[in-house]
Amino acid sequence: MTHAKTALPARSDIPKQYTWNAESVFETRAAWAAAAQSIAADLPKAAAYKGRLAEGAAVLADFMAEADHLTRLLGKVYVYASMSSAVDTTDVESVSMLGQAGGLYGQVLATLSFSDPELLAIGRETLEAWVASEPRLAHYGQYVDNLFRQQAHVRSGEVEEVIGLASDMLDSIYMSYSQLVNADLKFAPATGTDGQTYEVAQGSINTLLDSPDRTARRTAWNNYMDGYLAYRNTIAANYALSLKQDVFLARVRGYGSSVEASLFSNNIPKAVFTNLIDTFKKHIPTWHKYWAVKRRVMGYDSLHTYDVWAPMVKDEPRVPYEQAVDWIGAGMRPLGDDYVNALRRGCLEDRWVDVYPNQGKRQGAFSSGVHDTFPFIMMSYDDNLGAMSTLAHELGHSMHSYLARKTQPAAYSGYTLFVAEVASNFNQAMTRAHLMREYADDKTFQIALIQEAMTNFHRYFFIMPTLARFELEMHERVEQGRGVTAQDMNALMADLYAEGYGSEMTLDRERDGITWATFGHLYSAFYVYQYATGISAAHALSERILAGDGEAAKRYVEFLSMGSAKYPLDALKHAGVDMTTPEAVETTFGVLARYVDRLDELTR
């Protein structure tokens, strides 16, 4: 096995240029602590406006400025603590800092909770007049519109304060899960065909599953899933509590269901969710065809889950980090020099990316940051096409953040999860298309690139819709007052996998059934479906730009720059895709089918 490591390096052994730029947020941890203390000290200033917002536009503008100061500083405090903890979950001080930041988050929410009820009491007509007359309020038009859209679900000031105070306690549900699986959960080592052992950890499991050594893949996957199975009841009880939290908050705010509450917050009609699920179920045979092609290529009697990521070429391309940055930059050229130059500077000079795996680094990859920080990325890069694709994905998020923060005021420089996954998958689609053109005559590279594409599609267009079906059923059971146990969760997950795998794959009901427990995404209700809608919108948009539509490229950059100044569906319509219809999902299944057919052709 050529690219798995027998032991991960200590955090202190990672060269500085490959670590995130923590000092750009706070020079020292002492500076962080001072900022945290100043937030607590400034809370009374914001609280002093309680009961005063109706006094006039100037008073409201003063309050909004104070609230903006608090929330922006809180964002920096939270990002610094969360990134510090994520890159080394064994760092006890950073874990404590994250807990402190979470507590401050709850205090700030509670302190500012009076504002929405007071604004609603002032009335829409008066607020719109103030926005028109007070320059410091001029950019709050969308905020006011969204506030009154949600009016029926905003409770009294007292209830909103209680919800704010409870946020830290409720957020600790996910923290319990994260600490268990990232810090405490240990896995037996994998063993290769040659008897060599390899450390199984959150930072190494993906590399092990990419191995050409089937014995190493099998033992890595078995031991990884067995680690979760050993704690199935604890993790299930924790997730059940998260489900109950979702149902509780939906009912407190007067929604008909958890899914309605989640979709309403982003102004998404339920048809978007149901269109995705229905179209996915319709096209499951496309996945069955892929499993058949891969089984033939691999020469196996049957595929197992640990074979999903297995390389289909003997010598996979090695892609050092700097090469990946070059390829991604080349793929994004249709968006213009400003986009590409900012991306390259972030990766190679400003240290947006915490690049390599180390002991204690948490699982997965993500883009982080707030209005006043760089758009940081945490990942575990391991010099292959899959890692390059992950970097492209996270850079989609980070460039989305970069452009929104550069263009919008802080109030709109964030964006919803719904549009976030468009930007990330778009970068992957563009980079992949560039490499397919550049290496059109290299059959081995083409197969390896399709393998990377299928791995990505498998995650976002197979696993994520499957998890969306799983969490919908789990929420509905809790809403009906039914108990949900580890046995219930595992059985449902196994049934859904059996449908998706068909006859070409061998199902391990125990280990495949625990898959839900490996995804912390489920602690953010109805998050996962947005990966699938995101990859759908991304391919619908990239297809036009790749066809040479310069106006589509211009509109796409404008879409990235909107942040949350427009509702998600409206922003996407500006970019050129309507997600209220199944068209984009159908288009993307067409792209998937083309990859499967091309792979079949290349490997005959």
All domains of the chain, ordered by start, with CATH?
12-174 (1.20.140.70), 272-317+411-604 (1.10.1370.20)
Q: What are phi and psi of 244, to 5 degrees?
A: -65, -35
**From CA 486, how far away is CA 59, in angstroms rounded?**
53
Residues of the chain with pLDDT under 70: 1-6
pLDDT at residue number 483: 84
| Cβ(381)–Cβ(444) below 8 Å | no
Q: Given the structure tokens 């924790």, which residue do they identify?
A: 238
**Structural tokens at position 426:** 């778009």
Residue 395 near residue 339, CB atoms below 8 Å: no
d(CA 373, CA 376): 8
**Residues β-bridged to residue 303:** 505
> And the tokens for 74?
């809180």
Q: Is 394 a catalytic residue?
A: yes
pLDDT digit string, tens, across residues 39-65: 999 999 999 999 999 999 999 999 999
Tracing tokens 């083309």 back to the chain, one arrives at 594
214 CB-contact burial (10 Å; exposed 0-12 / middle 13-18 / buried 19+): middle
The distance from CA 40 to its chain's CA centroid, rounded to whole angstroms, is: 30
Cα 479 from Cα 251, distance rounded (Å):
10
Amino acid identity at 375: P
Cα–Cα dist 501/488, whole Å: 20
How far are the Cα atoms of 219, 274, 293, 422, 482 from residue 478, in angstroms, in the given order?
35, 20, 40, 31, 5
CB atoms within 10 A of CB 156: 11
Q: Would you say how long the chain is, in residues? A: 604
CA distances from 63 to 43, 53, 114, 267 (A): 12, 8, 12, 27
Catalytic residue among 160, 394, 471, 543: 394
pTM of the model: 0.86
Contacting residues for 219 by C-beta, under 8 A, at least 6 apart = 190, 191
The Cα–Cα gap between 426 and 103 comes to 36
- Assign 122 to helix, strand or coil: helix
Task: Specify whether the CB–CB gap between 292 and 286 falls below 8 A.
Answer: no
CB 22 within 8 A of CB 80: yes
The DSSP H or E segment spanning 190 is strand 190-191
Any bridge partners for residue 366, and if so which?
A: 378
**What is the residue whose two structure tokens read 């100037």?**
58
198, β-bridge pairs = 190
Looking at residue 303, what DSSP letter applies? E
| Residue 581 pLDDT | 96
As beta bridge partners, residue 377 has 353, 367
29, amino acid identity? R
List C-alpha distances in Å: 350 to 20, 245, 322, 341: 9, 39, 14, 12
d(CA 411, CA 115): 15
> What's residue 171's pLDDT?
80
Other residues' Cβ atoms within 10 Å of the Cβ of residue 538: 27
- Percentages (nearest 5) of helix, strand, coil residues in the chain: 70, 0, 25
Q: Using alpha carbons only, how large is the chain's radius of gyration in Å? A: 24
Burial class of residue 509 (count of CB atoms within 10 Å of its CB; 0-12, 13-18, 19+): middle
Cβ-in-10-Å burial (0-12, 13-18, 19+) of 382 comes to buried
Query: Are β-strands 303-304 and 505-506 bridged in parallel, bridged antiparallel, or unpaired?
Result: parallel
Rounded to an integer, what distance in angstroms lies between the CA atom of residue 555 and that of residue 538?
13
CA distance 185 to 206: 17
